[in-house]
């Protein structure tokens, strides 16, 4: 399976009039790039837009219908689906496994409805994916060229990939990385399931902002260890500390930075498969 | 331990560390005792002895921090952008391996296990017999660390290295 992508660095929203819908390759100078990728996913595209700090709206057509994501300066600030809006809509869209992804010209929302970072949303979507038991690896079939109906600028078609063993964070169980999106703090899966016995999030000041299974002592350990690692990295002239995986005589611990000075600490269960998380964190 | 013995011990450890570079992506390595003393190094000269000792003592303290909560640290992988440090606890100290860019992690783990096993006795002896590192390590010169082995000249900074203790490195 592969990815077909067309894009232009001139084609951001607001410039649609300049698009040449249906333009034939070789007749009109191509605008942007065509590419075939393998193993890309909607989540990768979301992260790409956030990394680029794009200010744009994107139409996602998936098995659940049509949804819209609004990106602004590295965040998903709003999302809508036919039934939902805000974070719930974003989670629904991120759980879709195939469809299309293209920029669109939509009225900008009057207010920000999503406060969670895109990483946090993806982690929650991973949980949803995990619960559904379906692979969310996606790929984009090669196409001969743009069709008459294309709007023109950036378009990525997603089709579910069925390759066995392909690596992606969605391939791993990410249970309990975040509270269940549709349940209360203590609702949903409870404390007995999932790959992580402890999921704890610390704010920039070290205060525990969310916690499942962790203790005050663990928070102190995490906060101090993170500071020591940060200092060691600074001494050696490295970039900012981003993540650590510790292997103990009994058990493991993963700590990674997220957002504005926040830290997340995870205590995986012995049987947990962490390969995809390691890849995501660069460990 | 007389100075000549200390030097020989450090040289032996350094020779073991050099074998780690057989694994692509390993930029270098160093070993510190639990008391924060740099025993040996096999890493570009960009990293000064005092800095390695200072960083090493903090990395050792990470292990102590977890130990205080009942978790005995065996290994750790720390990510800093394009760089990673692989830590392996050994008797009397810690082996710190600096990785730049992609690396074959299983190969790294195996190499670290073998080297750790090989140097463990020497590091334990260094911890037991050598005086601890100075409380306030100097930011520069390595003269105060007789057991630290100077790297071969001509070593360059790992790719992507741009800052060193707040200074820009060309």
Chain A residues close to B56, C-beta within 8 Å:
232
The rounded percent of chain A whose pLDDT value lies above 70 is: 63
List the single residue in B with minimal CA-CA distance to A250.
B71
Is A276's pLDDT higher than 50?
A: yes
Chain B residues close to A238, C-beta within 8 Å:
80-81, 83
DSSP state of B167: E
Task: Give tens-digit pLDDT for A228-245.
Answer: 999 999 999 999 999 999
Q: What is the pLDDT of residue B133?
A: 65
Separation in Å, CA of B2 to nearest CA in chain A: 31
CA dist B16 and B9 (Å) reads: 11
Q: What is the pLDDT of residue A26?
A: 43
**B116 part of a folded domain:** yes
List the single residue in B with minimal CA-CA distance to A230.
B80
Judge: A251–B71 Cβ closer than 8 Å, yes or no. Answer: yes
Judge: B73–A247 Cβ closer than 8 Å, yes or no. Answer: yes
**B163 part of a folded domain:** no
Is A170's pLDDT higher than 50?
A: no
Is B22's pLDDT higher than 90?
A: yes
**Which comes out higher in pLDDT, residue B102 or A6?**
B102
Chain A residues close to B66, C-beta within 8 Å:
221, 225, 246, 248, 253
Beta-bridge partners for A247: A252, B75
* Element housing B111 (H / E): helix B105-129
Is A266's pLDDT higher than 80?
A: yes
Judge: A248–B163 Cβ closer than 8 Å, yes or no. Answer: no
Q: What is the pLDDT of residue A191?
A: 41
Q: What is the pLDDT of residue B134?
A: 63
Task: Give tens-digit pLDDT for B88-140.
Answer: 999 999 999 999 999 999 999 999 999 999 999 999 999 888 877 665 544 44
Among candidates A231, A240, A244 on the partner chain, residue whose Cβ is nearest the Cβ of B81: A240
- Most confident of the ranges A1-15, A110-124, B156-170: A110-124
**Which comes out higher in pLDDT, residue B150 or A105?**
A105
DSSP state of B20: G
Q: What is the pLDDT of residue A166?
A: 34
Among candidates A235, A245, A248 on the partner chain, residue whose Cβ is nearest the Cβ of B72: A248
**B38 part of a folded domain:** yes
Task: Give tens-digit pLDDT for A88-97.
Answer: 899 888 888 7
Is A45's pLDDT higher than 90?
A: no
**B76 part of a folded domain:** yes
Indicate the pLDDT class of residue B163, thresholds 50, 70 and 90.
very low
Q: What is the pLDDT of residue A215?
A: 92
B 21-40 → A contacts, CB under 8 A? none
**Which comes out higher in pLDDT, residue A225 or A149?**
A225
Q: Which domain holds residue B106?
A: 3-133
3-class SS at B100?
strand
List the single residue in B with minimal CA-CA distance to A257.
B79
- Mean pLDDT of all residues in B129-155: 48
Q: Which CA distances in Å does A144 have to A24, A36, A103, A147?
A: 10, 11, 20, 9
- Mean pLDDT of all residues in B30-35: 94
The rounded percent of chain A whose pLDDT value lies above 90 is: 26
Q: What is the pLDDT of residue B112?
A: 97
Is the distance from CB of B170 to CB of B86 less than 8 angstroms? no
Q: What is the pLDDT of residue A279?
A: 86
Phi, then psi, of B92 in degrees rounded to 5: 85, 0
Interface size between A and B, measured as CB pairs under 8 A? 104
- Most confident of the ranges A72-86, A124-138, A167-181: A72-86
- Looking at the 3D structure of chain B, how many domains does it have? 1
Separation in Å, CA of A244 to nearest CA in chain B: 4
pTM (predicted TM-score): 0.54
Q: What is the pLDDT of residue A32?
A: 58
Q: What is the pLDDT of residue B146?
A: 36
CA dist A251 and A268 (Å) reads: 8
- Whichever domain contains B59, its CATH number is 3.30.450.30
**B160 part of a folded domain:** no
**Which comes out higher in pLDDT, residue B24 or A181?**
B24
**B109 part of a folded domain:** yes
Q: What is the pLDDT of residue B140?
A: 42
Mean pLDDT of chain A: 71
Mean pLDDT of chain B: 82
Domain annotation for chain A: domains and CATH numbers: 3-166 (no CATH), 196-281 (3.30.450.30)
**B29 part of a folded domain:** yes
Task: Give tens-digit pLDDT for A98-123.
Answer: 777 888 888 898 888 998 888 888 88
What's the complex ipTM?
A: 0.79
The chain A residues in contact with chain B (CB within 8 A) are 217-218, 221, 224-225, 228-229, 231-233, 235-251, 253, 281-283
Residue-by-residue DSSP string for chain A: --EEEEE-TT--TT-GGG--TTPPBTTB---SEEEEESS--HHHHHHHHHHTT--EEEEEEETTEEEEEEEETTEEEEEE-SS-BTHHHHHHHHT--SEEEEEE--PPPSS----S-HHHHHHHHHHHHHHHT----EE----SS--TT---S-EEEEEE---TT---GGGS--TTSS--TTS-TT-TTTTTSSSEEEEEEE-TTS-EEEEES--HHHHHHHHHHHHHHHHHHHHHT---EEEEEEEESS-EEEEEEETTTEEEEEEE-TT---HHHHHHHT-
Judge: A283–B84 Cβ closer than 8 Å, yes or no. Answer: yes
Separation in Å, CA of A110 to nearest CA in chain B: 36
**B14 part of a folded domain:** yes
Is A147's pLDDT higher than 50?
A: no
Judge: A228–B65 Cβ closer than 8 Å, yes or no. Answer: yes
């Amino acid at each position: 399976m592969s990815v077909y992508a067309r894009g232009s660095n001139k084609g951001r929203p607001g410039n649609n009039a300049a698009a040449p819908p249906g333009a034939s390759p070789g007749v009109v100078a191509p605008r942007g790039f065509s590419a075939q990728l393998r193993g890309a996913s909607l989540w990768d595209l979301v992260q790409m837009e956030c990394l680029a700090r794009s200010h744009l709206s994107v139409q996602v057509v998936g098995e659940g219908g049509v949804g819209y994501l609004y990106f602004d300066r590295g965040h998903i600030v709003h999302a809508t689906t036919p039934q939902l809006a805000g974070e719930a809509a974003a989670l629904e869209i991120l759980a879709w496994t195939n469809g299309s992804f293209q920029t669109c010209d939509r009225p900008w929302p009057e207010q920000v409805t999503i406060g969670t970072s895109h990483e946090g949303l993806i982690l929650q979507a991973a949980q949803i994916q995990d619960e559904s038991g379906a692979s969310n690896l996606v790929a984009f079939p090669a196409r001969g060229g743009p069709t008459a109906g294309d709007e023109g600028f950036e378009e990525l078609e997603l089709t579910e990939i069925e390759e066995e063993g392909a690596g992606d964070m969605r391939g791993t169980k990410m249970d309990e990385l975040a509270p269940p999106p549709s349940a209360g703090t203590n609702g949903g899966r409870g404390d007995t399931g999932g790959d992580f016995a402890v999921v704890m999030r610390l704010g920039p000041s070290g205060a525990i902002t969310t916690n499942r299974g962790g203790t005050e002592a663990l928070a102190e350990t995490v906060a101090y260890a993170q500071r020591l690692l940060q200092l060691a990295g600074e001494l050696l002239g490295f970039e900012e500390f981003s993540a650590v995986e510790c292997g103990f005589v009994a058990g493991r611990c993963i700590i990674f930075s997220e957002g504005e000075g926040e830290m997340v600490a995870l205590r995986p269960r012995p049987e947990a498969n962490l390969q995809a998380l390691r890849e995501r964190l660069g460990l | 331990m007389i100075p000549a013995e200390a030097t020989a011990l450090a040289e032996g450890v350094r020779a073991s560390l050099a074998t780690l570079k057989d694994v692509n992506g390993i930029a270098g390595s160093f070993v510190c005792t639990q008391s924060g003393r740099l025993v040996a190094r096999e890493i570009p000269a960009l990293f000064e002895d005092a800095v390695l000792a200072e960083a090493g003592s903090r990395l050792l303290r990470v292990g102590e921090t977890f130990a205080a909560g009942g978790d005995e640290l065996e290994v750790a992988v720390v990510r800093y952008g394009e760089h990673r440090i692989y830590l392996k606890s050994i008797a009397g100290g810690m082996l710190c391996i600096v990785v730049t860019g992609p690396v074959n992690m299983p190969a790294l783990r195996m190499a670290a296990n073998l080297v750790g096993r090989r140097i463990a006795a020497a590091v334990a002896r260094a911890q037991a017999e050598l005086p601890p590192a100075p409380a306030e390590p100097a930011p520069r010169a390595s003269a105060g660390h007789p057991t630290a082995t100077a790297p071969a000249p001509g070593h360059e900074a790992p790719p992507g290295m741009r800052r060193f203790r707040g200074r820009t490195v060309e």
